[in-house]
Amino acid sequence: DAGVIQSPRHEVTEMGQEVTLRCKPISGHNSLFWYRQTMMRGLELLIYFNNNVPIDDSGMPEDRFSAKMPNASFSTLKIQPSEPRDSAVYFCASSFGTTITPETQYFGPGTRLLVL
Amino acid sequence: AQKITQTQPGMFVQEKEAVTLDCTYDTSDQSYGLFWYKQPSSGEMIFLIYQGSYDEQNATEGRYSLNFQKARKSANLVISASQLGDSAMYFCAMRAVYGNNRLAFGKGNQVVVIP
């Protein structure tokens, strides 16, 4: 079975440009998560969706960041305008949630973003 | 709020030996899950093992086992018979059963396996 798919795998852009990261979760999973990883701050949860609805976006740094999940098989994370401090690895993860157990999140390969 | 602590410095391990990675956590939740992930130099996050707070047995998955001591709030990962491919960063994480889906991660343990 295909795991979580992210694109692009690498992105280099200039400050001020719009960046769009894409994610396809594992089929059948109902929760989707966007994380950012940097050396300084480690892994941070930016936002997560349950059944395509944003549940917790308290980790989104500022208004320059936005995320959507138009359907169960696709999500985007957009940064507009991008800044050098946004340079990081962005992970998408998905899980199948129940109310009984904390489900395992499976991560995509990540998108390495460099903003010059 | 949940907090995960991984404070070991980078570790060098001889191939075929066992290694234990420490993880302590702090939570007020009664029901929670503990996870370990592996991140090799290629960057992907690979799920290794899960332990539920009410599981009586320690979790095992192949060469990975979790030494769960609930009273001490520790969930150490044991890798037996280390292989060169085990060289990676290892992250401990936890999530409450009830409440939001937020997974709290530790800072990670670096392991280098030497032949």
Q: Evaluate whether B23 touches B77 at the Cβ level (below 8 Å).
A: yes
Amino acid symbol at A19: V
pLDDT by residue (tens digit) across A45-100?
999 998 999 988 989 988 999 999 999 999 999 999 999 999 999 999 999 876 55
Cα separation, A61 vs A17, in Å, equals 17
Chain A residues within 8 A of B91 when measuring between CB atoms? 43
What pLDDT sits at residue B100?
67
DSSP A41-107: TEEEEEEEEETTEEEE-TT--STTEEEEEEETTEEEEEESS--GGG-EEEEEEEE---SSS-PPPEE
Count of CB atoms situated within 10 Å of the CB of A15: 12
Tell me what percent of the residues of chain A surpass a pLDDT of 70: 95
Q: Do B43 and A93 touch (CB under 8 A)?
A: no
Nearest-CB residue to A91 (from B35, B45, B95):
B45
Tokens of B52: 């539920």
Q: Evaluate whether B7 touches B108 at the Cβ level (below 8 Å).
A: no
- Whether omega for the bond prior to residue A61 falls within 30 degrees of 0, making it cis, is no
Long-range contacts of B87-90 (CB under 8 A, 24+ apart): B87/B40, B87/B41, B87/B111, B87/B112, B87/B113, B88/B38, B88/B39, B88/B40, B88/B41, B89/B38, B89/B39, B89/B40, B90/B21, B90/B36, B90/B37, B90/B38, B90/B39, B90/B48
User: Distance from A62 to chain B by nearest Cα, in Å?
Assistant: 19
What pLDDT sits at residue A102?
64
Residue A111: HSE in the Cβ half-sphere, 13 Å Cα cutoff? 27
Tokens of A6: 């992210």
User: Distance from B113 to chain A by nearest Cα, in Å?
Assistant: 22
Is residue B86 classed as helix, strand or coil in its secondary structure? helix
Chain A residues within 8 A of B37 when measuring between CB atoms? 107
Q: Evaluate whether A36 touches A107 at the Cβ level (below 8 Å).
A: no
Tens place of pLDDT for every residue, chain B, 115 residues?
789 999 888 999 999 999 999 999 999 888 899 999 999 999 999 999 999 999 889 999 999 999 999 999 999 999 999 999 999 999 999 988 777 667 899 999 999 999 9
Residues 80-109 of B with CB under 8 A from A: 91, 95-98, 100-103, 105, 107-108
